[in-house]
Amino acid sequence: MIRASLAWLLPLLSLACGDGGPSSAPLAPQGGAAGAAQAGAAGAPQGGATQGGAAGAAQAGAAGAGQAGAAGALPVLSAAATDSTVTLPFTVAITGVGTKKVGDISIVGDVGHVTVGGVSYPAVTYEHQAWPEFGYELYQTLAVGPDRLYSLWFYCKGAALDWVYLEGTDGTKMTDEPTAAGGTCALQQAPSSPAVKFPAVSFVAPPIVTGFEVHGAQIDLPSGEKGRLTLGPMTHDVFVFDTVDCTKDCGAQPWWELHALLWDEAQRRVCFSIFYLFPGASQVSAQYSLSLPDLGDPVGDLTLTATWSKL
């Protein structure tokens, strides 16, 4: 879930790659100022008694962030079936088996299937980040079912798959798990345009977390309530459904992550995105977005002037 300018938050599920697997999930890449590397789609995983950020510690309700909103009061988010291509700057194959909630993992040419809770879901791996300090390659993946979305992060070391991080709109909070021995990763630094097919989706928006407020001209995220994000002429509803605490052990600069769904009701478009909050900064960053059904990225590498507070 990381671009060249940011360091992924991939540590969602303890995806650590290596022979035999590490004794604890890998830490997230170092954060940095403004244009420097920042953790991306997941954050730092948990390691022993040390909490990781954007993933291992990314439970809504952690560090005082709770959930709000009864399911009945939240809108139904829906998108038509996806049958399109997405242009990516890499090509990867990832195979393996998780050891807890995640089962078979089969990604070939950036697309394939991931089994979660005994159900196989079509998936696309759409972000890649190298983490040379620890010898990892990280991959962000979206898996889609008729009534839910899962975001996953895979940790690879060399040709071995070691860990996977997972969160979902079904109420699954950021968790991590090692993968069974024998998992593989094969990256090619060559562009690809994989054909992606997802079913139509429809589900009640996940409960909105409390504990943070963000206010700016283009963005407004009240604690425990639906927010808004204005991108050009379009205003999206925002549902923050998970948080990641990366204020410790994630690098030189601490941060928080808000994992959210953007909802364009007029176009019936659902988009996964991550907001980054840095202490003392009068701005908010957003990245790692992917929309259904069009596979577009309405956010890109976005920095907005805004104030934020942790309640």
Determine the Cα–Cα distance for residues 63 and 69; give it in Å rounded to an integer: 19
Q: How far apart are CA 44 and CA 246, in angstroms?
A: 6
Tracing tokens 């590498």 back to the chain, one arrives at 301
Q: Is the dihedral of CA 284, 290, 295, 301 positive or negative?
A: positive
Verify cis geometry, omega within 30 degrees of 0, for the bond prior to 293. yes
Phi, psi of 237 (to 5 degrees): -75, 145
Q: Please give the pLDDT value at position 135.
A: 81
Structure-token pair, residue 234: 């379009």
Give one DSSP letter per residue of 40-101, joined into a string.
-SS----BTTB--STTTT--TTGGG--EE--GGGSPEEEEPPEEEE--BS-EEEEEEEBSSS
Q: What is the pTM of this model?
A: 0.81
Q: Which of 148, 147, 141, 145 is nearest to 95 (CA)?
A: 141
Where the chain has pLDDT below 70, the residues are: 1-72, 249-252
pLDDT at 73: 82
Residue the block writes with tokens 């507070």: 309
Contact status, residue 238 vs residue 262, Cβ threshold 8 Å: yes
The per-residue pLDDT for 25 is 59
Asked if residues 32 and 252 have their Cβ atoms less than 8 Å apart, the reply is: yes
Radius of gyration of the chain (CA): 17
Residue 254 CA from chain centroid, whole number: 18
Name the token pair of 214.
């963000």
Length of the chain: 311
Distance CA 143, CA 172 (A): 13
Tokens 């202490």 belong to which residue?
A: 279
CA angle 217, 308, 153 (to 5 degrees): 100
Q: What is the pLDDT of residue 49?
A: 29
Question: What is the rounded distance in angstroms from the CA atom of residue 127 to the CA atom of residue 289?
Answer: 10
DSSP 269: E
User: Could you tell me which of 227, 222, 173 has the C-alpha nearest to residue 60?
Assistant: 173
Residue from 256, 255, 223, 254 nearest 240 by CA: 223
CA distances in angstroms from 241 to 4, 43, 159, 226, listed in the order given: 26, 16, 33, 10
Q: State the sign of the Cα–Cα–Cα–Cα dihedral 56, 87, 37, 274.
A: negative
DSSP annotation of 181 reads T
CB 180, CB 98: distance < 8 Å: yes
